[in-house]
Amino acid sequence: MAAPTPPSHHSAGRPNHLLVVDDEPTVRELLRTALRYAGFDVEAAATGREALDLAARRTPDLVLLDVMLPDMDGFEVIRRLRAQPRSPLPGQGGDVPVLFVTARDDRQDRLHGLRLGGDDYVTKPFDLEELIARIHAVLRRTRGEQPARLAVGDLVLEPESHHVTRAGRTVRLSPTEFRLLHFLVANAGRTMTKNQILRSVWEYDFGGDPSIVDTYISYLRRKVDTGEPKLVHTVRGVGYVIREPRP
C-alpha cells in the first residue's frame, strides 16, 4: 500500500478537521496517523457517545464513522448528528458530512447508511489512497463555492444557504442530495450520463459505483417530485435530466 501524498487542501486557511470513529484500536491509530500525514487535523473516538461529545465541542469538517460500535451503532450516531441544529453554512451542525468506513458490506446496510444522510460508504479492508481521495471528494462537494439562485419551474435553489423550495414549500436535503440536485438544475434541459454525474457530483477521478446515482435520484424524487408536474426524468439507456414542465 503506497503512502499517501500530503495534499494542500485546507479549509479557510486551516487543515480540515476530521473525526474518526472506530472501536478497533489498530484501525483507529492507522487512520489517525495516515490522515495526519495527509495534512488533516484528526481527533478519534472509540464509541458513539464519545464521538457525539467531541462533535458537540468542536464541529468536524467530516466524520469517518464505523457502523459497529460498542454502545450504539453508527446508524444511531448519524441520526443524532443529523438531529443537531443546522448551521446556515454547509457542512456544519446537522449538515456535517459523514463517510462510513466499516466491515458491514451488505448492500442493505450501505443503502441504509446513505438514506440516513451518509455522503459515502467505504468497506473494510480499504485502500488508503482511495479513502483519502473520497474524503477530498466529499469535502469539495460540500464546501465548494456556489453561484447565485437557480430555478427550474417552481423549484428554486439558493446554493449559498443550501435552501431549496418547491412551489414555495421548503425541501430538506442532505449535502449530497443537494449537490446532485444543484448539478442537474445547473444543466437543466441537458441529459447527464451516470458517469458525468459521478465525476461532477461525487468527484471520483478513480471511478465509482454507478448504482449510487440511481439511489440518490430516487431520494430526490421522493423529496422534490412529490406532486405534479414531475421535473426529474430518466432518459432510458442514457441518464437523467431535469427540465421545465412541458405544456
Give me the CATH code for the 17-143 domain, please.
3.40.50.2300
pLDDT, residue 91, reads 42
Give me the CATH code for the 150-242 domain, please.
1.10.10.10
| 232: CB partners within 8 A, 6+ apart | 184, 217, 220, 221, 224, 225, 240, 241, 242
Residue 217 amino acid letter: I
Residue 71 amino acid letter: D
pLDDT, residue 158, reads 87
CA distances 202 to 37, 38, 183, Å, are 24, 20, 11
Domain borders along the chain are 17-143, 150-242
Same-fold call for 17-143 versus 150-242: no
Asked whether residue 176 carries a pLDDT value surpassing 60, the answer given is yes
**Whole-prediction pTM:** 0.59
Q: Tell me the per-residue pLDDT of 119-144, one tens digit each, with 9 for 90 and over.
A: 889 989 888 888 988 898 888 777 65
pLDDT, residue 161, reads 79
**Mean pLDDT across the chain:** 84
71 or 133, higher pLDDT? 71
Residues β-bridged to residue 100: 65, 121
Q: Tell me the per-residue pLDDT of 86-130, one tens digit each, with 9 for 90 and over.
A: 443 344 455 789 999 999 888 888 888 888 888 889 989 888 888
Q: Tell me the per-residue pLDDT of 179-235, one tens digit each, with 9 for 90 and over.
A: 899 989 988 888 888 888 887 788 665 556 788 899 999 999 999 998 889 999 999
